[in-house]
Amino acid sequence: MTPLPHVLARGVDTLLDRTVAPGFTRVGPAVRRRLPTWPDDPAPGALAGRTVAVTGATSGLGLTAAEGMARLGARVRLVVRDVEKGERVRAQLLADVPGTDVAVDRCDVADLDDVRRFAAELDVDRLDVLVHNAGALPAERTESPQGHELTMAVHVLGPVLMTELLRERLAGHDARVVLVTSGGMYAQGLRADDPAYRCGDYSGTTAYARSKRAQVELLPLLASRWAGQQVGVHASHPGWADTPGVVESLPGFHRVVGRLLRDPAEGADTTVWLSAVQPAPRSGQLWHDRRARPTHLLRRTRTPDAERDRMWDWVRATTGLDG
């Protein structure tokens, strides 16, 4: 029988989650860390001897996640578009985490040809953790070099293709793939009928949320596809975190909610935890503040299996997975 304090704690945790605003802000971790149901931190050195790669690692949640994993002993690959900026971050990490092993790799995740080049040139024989953190939220409809809508390219097509191309190096040793998603996806249903966002007036925030919804909807299919190689896949939504991307892309939201936003460490906490905790969490789930969460809060966003399969067919065809 579950002790009463744990039952009450789970009730508080769930209430924070379902009411959204309190749980997504800094209030969420401030309360949850004091509950008896809060999971233990990863053991010191939990990632010693393991290699992790983090996309979009030059600022915000990506930089903080890379630093958190370096402090747990990981060898870190910073996967970035701007190598000069990446080298500055590398120098910062070497100063903040003495003795760590950090390298910089160039890759534009939106460019599928560049993803293929990166995977072919990555000079590691084994990869233990791959964090897909790179993000985009354009004000106007923008296309990737291959002509795909940018948010879908950065958040779905690039990460799926990159993982597939690195699958042999991830396989066979409890490797983990983490998609950094967004609570904004709760407001959007899957649009398998219009993945390129060609219908209706374009909204960057809507496109962003749709692509994050696609990430989450594909989780069970990706978990099944990669299970044979012992590669687990997880999605982690950070809540509302104070990052340069939020300031730049959502200035009005930042002005209104700024004081309640999480700091980057609170936003990246679950990503680091998922990458290091033992035993490995069950693959194919959405996580927030170290607990698996429902993928839908609204009935109107629920996804029929046929729509999920239709989106997966588009991803496979667009990335050439089965070609």
For the chain, the C-alpha Rg in angstroms (whole number) is 19
Supply 75's token pair: 């060898």
Q: Is 197 a catalytic residue?
A: no
Q: Which one of 186, 197, 202, 208 is the catalytic residue?
A: 208
Backbone angles phi, psi at 227, to 5 degrees: -65, -35
What is the widest separation between alpha-carbon atoms in the chain? 56
Supply 239's token pair: 């809540």
Pairing verdict, β 291-293 and 285-288: antiparallel
Query: Would you tell me how many other CB atoms lie within 10 Å of the CB of residue 277?
Result: 18
Supply 74's token pair: 């990981």
Strand partners, 180: 236
> DSSP string spanning 36-74?
TTPPPPPPTTTTTT-EEEEESTTSHHHHHHHHHHHHTT-
Q: Which helix (H) or strand (E) holds 106?
A: strand 101-106
Full strand arrangement of the beta sheet holding 75-80: 101-106, 75-80, 51-55, 129-132, 175-180, 231-236, 285-288, 291-293
User: Annotated active-site positions, please?
Assistant: 208
